[in-house]
Amino acid sequence: MCAPSSQVERDLDSIVNATGADTRVRPYDNPWLVMGRQNHSSNGHVAFLSLGSNVGHTRNHLTKARQALAGLGVSVEEASACFATEPVDFKDQPWFLNQVIRVRTDLEPMELLQACLRTEQEQGRRRNVAKGPRTLDIDILLYDDLILEDPELQIPHPRIPLRRFVLEPLAALVPDKVHPVLQETFERLLARCEDPSRVERLEETD
């Protein structure tokens, strides 16, 4: 899971001790940057997003989400296959269709969050029941190698290692990529995942 603030502070203290200078950026100095590496090249930032839907034409919702994000400056570079996934927290609802996409963007993390929320809202997302049915759900899983702990956004997403419906498409897309906090590949995290919920890979039709 995402490193707690105390652990982040200890890691930063070790940097201070090694360099002799306190060059730390804390959450209260800059509310979105905690630690980790960001890609500041002209090619933008690479992020991984989880898409999910279990209301209406679910595959169509995911397709429209990718298109809408592209119009907001979030270019989709690669998409996993779609997976039918059993509900985890609120059981009495239809199965979900889930997918992970790799995107490239010039948006900063909070700007990317707003783009995701706007896309959800434009596709009819209503938050009437916690963990309940939804036309579209978009979560930011990773953003470069950034480790961010903010009341509105945590990166990496803290439930990545706990949720099979996230790990299956993520490991299918980038099996050898290393989790920036846990320092294990997503393929390894999937193999160790104890989530018993069912996840079924679907035939690719789009």
List, by residue number, the catalytic residues. Answer: 125, 134, 137, 139
Neighbours of 114 (CB within 10 A): 14
Alpha-carbon gap, residue 167 to 103, rounded angstroms: 17
Alpha-carbon gap, residue 51 to 116, rounded angstroms: 10
